[in-house]
A and B are shown apart, each in its own frame.
Chain A
Amino acid sequence: DAEITQSPRHKITETGRQVTLACHQTWNHNNMFWYRQDLGHGLRLIHYSYGVHDTNKGEVSDGYSVSRSNTEDLPLTLESAASSQTSVYFCASSGSEFSGTPRNEQFFGPGTRLTVL
């Protein structure tokens, strides 16, 4: 069965360190998204990609970067981790906007809980 996985599931790091969160999907989806979830804010979009070598900034992109070298993976990098980036991070994927059903829902990974001390 197709799936979307994230690793690690839990990570503790120190302020100033570079951290990379992995996201891998086997849906063969063109669209991939990274969100962060904080109490009271729901999920907020960090970065997204519509295909290989395409990346775009979302609502809360400062301090984060992504790269898309293949269809399956969209790693999220925190260049210099800050305590404000302590959060739960979700990766999601979906088909292209005009493919499949109008619904075209996003499928979410299990999340990565990141703590920055």
Chain B
Amino acid sequence: AQKITQTQPGMFVQEKEAVTLDCTYDTSDPSYGLFWYKQPSSGEMIFLIYQGSYDQQNATEGRYSLNFQKARKSANLVISASQLGDSAMYFCAMKAAGNKLTFGGGTRVLVKP
């Protein structure tokens, strides 16, 4: 069975600074994918970034990058140059066979001006 752990329930970050959100996972499948989704206060789920288990390079999407350490089973999200609009809940999720997702409990980020 897959498991995702996000150990930071909430954190503050100063505007324009970088922030790292932790995510560790557990799976026995050799092939899997890791996602990060953003959920602003309006409630929708917004896809941010994806890392496949066989991808050689860490994924990047604009100000988002994924620090993928396969041996440590971690897939931390780095947000560079934080903006006020980055204040939201962030969820790490793992894709299993059949494209089903297992989510972590989320991390709430509040960006301070």
Using a CB–CB distance below 8 Å, which chain A residues touch chain B?
Answer: 31, 33, 35, 40-45, 48, 50, 58, 88, 90, 92, 94, 96-97, 102-108, 110-111
With both beta carbons as reference points, the residue of chain B lying nearest to A9 in the complex is identified as: B43
Q: Which B residues are CB-close (under 8 A) to A96?
A: 99
Q: Which B residues are CB-close (under 8 A) to A88?
A: 43
The 8 Å CB contact of B103, one of A44, A102, A103, A107, is: A44
In contact, A42 and B104 (Cβ under 8 angstroms): yes
Q: Report, as a range, how many residues of chain B touch the other chain.
A: 20 to 34
Q: Which B residues are CB-close (under 8 A) to A104?
A: 95, 99
In contact, A102 and B44 (Cβ under 8 angstroms): no
Residue pairs across A and B with CB atoms within 8 Å: the count is 59
In contact, B105 and A48 (Cβ under 8 angstroms): no
In contact, B101 and A106 (Cβ under 8 angstroms): yes
CA separation between A97 and B31, bound complex, in Å? 12
Shortest C-beta distance, B21 to chain A (Å), equals 13
Return the CB mask of B37-58 against A: 1 if under 8 Å, else 0: 1000001110100101000000
In contact, A42 and B103 (Cβ under 8 angstroms): yes
The 8 Å CB contact of B44, one of A42, A45, A110, is: A110
In contact, B45 and A31 (Cβ under 8 angstroms): no
Q: Which A residues are CB-close (under 8 A) to B6?
A: 42
